[in-house]
Amino acid sequence: MLLLATFAALAATVAPPPATPCPTAPTTSALQAACPGLIFFDSGSTEIRREWGAVLEAAVAGAAQSRLRLVGYSDTPGSAATNLRMARRRAQAVADALAARGFPADRIDVVAVGEQQLLIPTADGVREVQNRRVEITVQP
Protein backbone atom coordinates (compact mmCIF):
# COMPACT_ATOMS: atom_id res chain seq x y z
CA MET A 1 0.00 0.00 0.00
CA LEU A 2 2.90 2.33 0.76
CA LEU A 3 4.26 1.83 -2.75
CA LEU A 4 0.86 2.75 -4.20
CA ALA A 5 0.83 5.93 -2.15
CA THR A 6 4.40 6.68 -3.19
CA PHE A 7 3.58 6.19 -6.85
CA ALA A 8 0.38 8.21 -6.50
CA ALA A 9 2.48 11.07 -5.13
CA LEU A 10 4.84 10.69 -8.08
CA ALA A 11 1.89 10.68 -10.46
CA ALA A 12 0.53 13.86 -8.93
CA THR A 13 3.78 15.73 -9.47
CA VAL A 14 4.84 14.12 -12.77
CA ALA A 15 8.37 15.00 -11.72
CA PRO A 16 11.55 14.33 -13.69
CA PRO A 17 14.12 11.97 -12.19
CA PRO A 18 15.92 13.22 -9.10
CA ALA A 19 18.42 16.00 -9.77
CA THR A 20 20.70 14.46 -7.18
CA PRO A 21 21.84 10.87 -7.14
CA CYS A 22 19.89 8.17 -5.42
CA PRO A 23 21.75 6.27 -2.64
CA THR A 24 25.54 6.32 -2.91
CA ALA A 25 25.82 2.60 -2.15
CA PRO A 26 22.71 1.42 -3.97
CA THR A 27 20.97 -1.76 -3.03
CA THR A 28 17.71 -2.70 -4.66
CA SER A 29 15.69 -1.81 -1.56
CA ALA A 30 17.51 1.52 -1.13
CA LEU A 31 16.93 2.40 -4.79
CA GLN A 32 13.25 1.46 -4.56
CA ALA A 33 12.76 3.64 -1.49
CA ALA A 34 14.72 6.66 -2.72
CA CYS A 35 13.81 6.55 -6.41
CA PRO A 36 10.12 5.69 -6.87
CA GLY A 37 9.11 5.27 -10.48
CA LEU A 38 12.58 4.14 -11.56
CA ILE A 39 13.68 0.62 -12.51
CA PHE A 40 17.39 -0.14 -12.69
CA PHE A 41 19.12 -2.79 -14.80
CA ASP A 42 22.22 -4.94 -14.68
CA SER A 43 24.97 -4.05 -17.13
CA GLY A 44 24.22 -5.24 -20.66
CA SER A 45 20.80 -6.55 -19.63
CA THR A 46 17.17 -5.80 -20.40
CA GLU A 47 15.91 -8.28 -17.80
CA ILE A 48 13.62 -6.83 -15.15
CA ARG A 49 14.58 -8.57 -11.93
CA ARG A 50 11.77 -9.95 -9.80
CA GLU A 51 12.31 -7.41 -7.02
CA TRP A 52 11.21 -4.58 -9.37
CA GLY A 53 7.75 -6.15 -9.68
CA ALA A 54 6.37 -3.92 -6.92
CA VAL A 55 7.32 -0.80 -8.91
CA LEU A 56 5.53 -2.19 -11.97
CA GLU A 57 2.43 -3.05 -9.90
CA ALA A 58 2.42 0.43 -8.38
CA ALA A 59 2.64 1.99 -11.85
CA VAL A 60 -0.32 -0.02 -13.11
CA ALA A 61 -2.39 0.82 -10.03
CA GLY A 62 -1.33 4.46 -9.86
CA ALA A 63 -1.91 5.34 -13.50
CA ALA A 64 -5.62 4.44 -13.59
CA GLN A 65 -6.91 5.96 -16.86
CA SER A 66 -3.78 8.02 -17.58
CA ARG A 67 -0.94 7.42 -20.01
CA LEU A 68 2.48 6.20 -18.93
CA ARG A 69 5.71 7.56 -20.37
CA LEU A 70 8.74 5.28 -20.16
CA VAL A 71 12.14 6.83 -20.74
CA GLY A 72 15.12 4.51 -21.12
CA TYR A 73 18.64 5.56 -20.17
CA SER A 74 22.02 3.83 -20.24
CA ASP A 75 25.46 4.19 -18.79
CA THR A 76 28.46 5.04 -20.95
CA PRO A 77 30.30 1.81 -21.90
CA GLY A 78 29.95 1.22 -25.63
CA SER A 79 29.10 3.60 -28.43
CA ALA A 80 26.35 6.22 -28.14
CA ALA A 81 24.34 4.34 -30.78
CA THR A 82 24.66 1.02 -28.90
CA ASN A 83 23.65 2.69 -25.64
CA LEU A 84 20.64 4.30 -27.27
CA ARG A 85 19.50 0.90 -28.60
CA MET A 86 19.97 -0.68 -25.16
CA ALA A 87 18.00 2.14 -23.52
CA ARG A 88 15.15 1.60 -26.01
CA ARG A 89 15.19 -2.16 -25.38
CA ARG A 90 15.02 -1.60 -21.62
CA ALA A 91 12.11 0.83 -21.94
CA GLN A 92 10.30 -1.64 -24.21
CA ALA A 93 10.92 -4.45 -21.69
CA VAL A 94 9.21 -2.32 -19.03
CA ALA A 95 6.34 -1.54 -21.45
CA ASP A 96 5.91 -5.26 -22.12
CA ALA A 97 5.95 -6.03 -18.38
CA LEU A 98 3.32 -3.36 -17.72
CA ALA A 99 1.13 -4.69 -20.53
CA ALA A 100 1.51 -8.22 -19.13
CA ARG A 101 0.14 -6.84 -15.85
CA GLY A 102 -2.95 -5.51 -17.62
CA PHE A 103 -1.99 -1.92 -18.44
CA PRO A 104 -3.20 -1.05 -21.97
CA ALA A 105 -0.23 -1.03 -24.35
CA ASP A 106 -1.80 1.77 -26.40
CA ARG A 107 -1.46 4.09 -23.38
CA ILE A 108 2.29 3.56 -23.01
CA ASP A 109 4.78 5.89 -24.70
CA VAL A 110 8.33 4.54 -25.02
CA VAL A 111 11.25 6.94 -25.41
CA ALA A 112 14.99 6.30 -25.36
CA VAL A 113 17.62 8.80 -24.31
CA GLY A 114 20.64 6.51 -24.09
CA GLU A 115 23.68 7.89 -22.33
CA GLN A 116 22.37 11.47 -22.32
CA GLN A 117 21.13 12.90 -18.99
CA LEU A 118 23.20 10.70 -16.71
CA LEU A 119 21.84 10.52 -13.19
CA ILE A 120 25.40 9.97 -11.93
CA PRO A 121 27.91 11.90 -14.07
CA THR A 122 30.73 9.59 -15.16
CA ALA A 123 33.53 9.51 -17.68
CA ASP A 124 32.97 7.67 -20.94
CA GLY A 125 33.12 3.88 -20.54
CA VAL A 126 32.17 3.81 -16.84
CA ARG A 127 29.53 1.34 -15.68
CA GLU A 128 27.03 2.91 -13.24
CA VAL A 129 23.84 1.13 -12.18
CA GLN A 130 21.92 4.35 -11.54
CA ASN A 131 22.45 5.42 -15.15
CA ARG A 132 20.99 2.12 -16.45
CA ARG A 133 17.37 2.91 -15.72
CA VAL A 134 13.86 3.34 -17.04
CA GLU A 135 11.87 6.22 -15.64
CA ILE A 136 8.09 5.70 -15.36
CA THR A 137 5.97 8.85 -15.23
CA VAL A 138 2.24 9.34 -15.40
CA GLN A 139 1.16 11.74 -18.12
CA PRO A 140 -1.78 14.07 -17.47
Check pLDDT > 90 for residue 94.
yes
Task: Give the range of the structural domain holding residue 68, as residue numbers without chain letter.
Answer: 2-139
Strand order in the sheet with 133-139: 38-40, 133-139, 67-73, 108-114
Comparing CA positions, the residue from 32, 85, 66 lying closest to residue 137 is 66
Average pLDDT, the chain: 82
Helix ranges, the chain (H): 2-13, 28-34, 53-63, 80-100
> What is the mean predicted confidence (pLDDT) over 87-97?
98
The predicted structure's pLDDT at residue 105: 96
Most confident of 17-21, 90-94, 133-137: 90-94
What are the pLDDT digits (tens) for 29-88? Answer: 555 554 568 899 999 999 999 988 989 998 898 888 899 999 999 999 999 999 999 999
With cut-offs at 50, 70 and 90, classify the pLDDT of residue 139. confident
Question: What domain count does the chain have?
Answer: 1
CATH code of the domain containing 21: 3.30.1330.60
pTM for the whole structure: 0.78
Name residue 110's amino acid: V
- Asked if 83 and 74 touch (Cβ cutoff 8 Å), the reply is yes
